[in-house]
Chains A and B, each alone.
Chain A
Amino acid sequence: MSPRPTRACPSPLALLLILALLLCLAGGPTVRASLEGAVASRSVPLDLVITYTAMHPLHGGAIVEIFGDGAVVRTTRRRGDLQASIRQTELGTDDLLGLVDLLVELEAWEQRVPERPPVPDEGRASIHIEIAGREAGFWEWYNDLGEHDRLLRISELMTDLALR
């Protein structure tokens, strides 16, 4: 009877390195790291998408999407309208960087308002960020935007940029 072949066990250090490599491959840099990198390099990645959403099925509202290539799409719908109106424009790098600066300043990847069940017709506004294959963002109750002055500052800047 021949002896069973022995298998070489990887060392704990090698396992840790493999795990770290897998984590990097799976996730890439965080949204925070990517935004801070854009601020440091003063350049905006083309795959950046920033979306402000405050659209209510009953009350209407607005959605503003700003892309890393400078494209801006603003969709608005008045209360009760079935049709939305869409406006598109283009931004320069300075305007985009100004927005990224604000996202970093306000740590727009961090949710701070706690979850609770809404009452009927209560709605949220949100900021959603996509960059380097990762997503992050935060939301606030629409009627409380003025209390926090966080999402409101971003939405006002995005709306200003969309209306240029």
Chain B
Amino acid sequence: MFELFKLQSRDDVVDDKGPNRWDWALLPLILALFSIFAFAAMQMSRPFSVGEALQVSLDPFYLPYYLLRTILRMFTALGFSLLFSLAFAAIAVKYAAAEKIMIPALDILQSVPILGFQAIAIAPFIALFPGNLLGVECAAIFAIFTSQAWNMAFSLYQSMRTVPSELSEAAHIFRLSGWQRFWRLELPFAMPGLLWNMMMSMSGGWFFLVAAEAISVAGQDIKLPGIGSYIAVAIEAKDGHAIAWAIGAMLTGILFYDQLFFRPLLAWADKFRFEESQGETSQQSWLLDWMRNSSWVRSWTESFWAFLSRGLGWFSVTYDGTSERALKKPMSPLWSRIWDGVLTVVTLLAIFRLISFIHSDVGMSEVVHVIGLAMITLVRVMLLIGLASLVWVPVSVWIGLRPQYSQKVQAIAQFLAAFPVNLMFPLVVFAMVTFNLTPNIWLSPLMVFGTQWYILFNVVAGAATIPNELRLAADNLGLKGWLKWKRVYLPAIFPSYITGAITASGGSWNASIVAEYVTWGKTTLVADGLGSYIKQMTETGDFHRIALGIGIMCIFVTLLNRFFWRKLYLLAEDHIR
């Protein structure tokens, strides 16, 4: 028995390749996962012609199958998001000229709502695979991808920018090539942040799942088999039971991939934590423990890593510092100025084109109208973030100061952030019709329904890190009531609150598309605002007005970020220093 545990240490060579009990436990699990996903993948490609109706049944019996399809889609999108992020960050960090375009572009892409991408992408994807469902499948995956990729790419880029200088110097001294540096230094360093953002991205994917799977863009009405379509059909059919079933299925799905994918990954990635002194409790995963104990898995991973590390030798630097090739040539100031000039000209041209397009095709009065709508949405977003803060900040501080709850609450908040707002439609419509409420006011809470949890989540984390000594000192000085909040708690959580509020604000703009336009069966409730405008225009397929609406939203979100949230963020950073 004891021999078995000794084998846990990492560098022990496993002589005995025979299976142990962990192997027998893992084998069925792995085989089951493989065959299930293979089955689902095969279902993705089948004949389909545009206009053909796909049956989505509300029978709960089909739910596991829909869940499987949805999860496969989400993971495919996650895989592509990961590839995109790796390429994006590597290029942006390496080439200053590219960085100048890529980072602002990412800022803008982040603020484009999912419907915008869908409107553009659906036709080309269907044309790519004529007569096959795979095209629609790709469009859905692309839509999910657009709700996952940006924050991952940004996090990876940020981390790669902030690689500690001494490690970077060490990599230089030992002459790692760019390729080796990426795999040995930059990616490992970025890993914790990247994983964290992958989890957030999965939540983001669920949030817009209905829009991604039940495609109703430009007169199309395609419902791919999946949980999102199931919810859409349930809403059309006014089936409350089905909604409940969908919530259950979603919960199960999240639980599954959390236990089988993210937990093991997080526990494994624990070694990439750079700050060694940080008091964060390390993640635990039963699956990873199983895998580490299984001799099959261990010998397999060992040869896998050995195989991968052979790839590290592909691009070695063959010369050293005595060769002139080692000389780093910075971009000459002339070229950099020319490049800046080109960018300015292109930007000006684009702005000119945009203005002339708007002027001729939509008319200036429409622009003013849309800006007015954006103002309404802006007021809504800010008011609701403020209200949500009033409610959640005290609650989160209370929770954060009690470590026994805080971890559990964080897990719950993460689930709530994933909760598609569409699932609230039956309740909302019922309440509004029964009490005869005005949509312009009472639909607003839906906007922060999914995003308020980011405030909760971040503030809980911030409050949990308030040094115990600070609290003792405050007690010792007899600080009580409001004074204690004003002098201790609020300043301490301010930076994490700002981080949460930024995420919540960005998310709320996107959510406005779903939240300002609510349907339940034949009942449709519309609040005035930019979100409902975009949603209505996408349904009718008016591309000019979609572009206008999305453009205005981009401008509003970007300006708000730049001139409000970033200022607050810098202030918070300065305060805590």
* A-B complex is real: no
Q: Which residues of A contact B (CB under 8 A)?
A: none
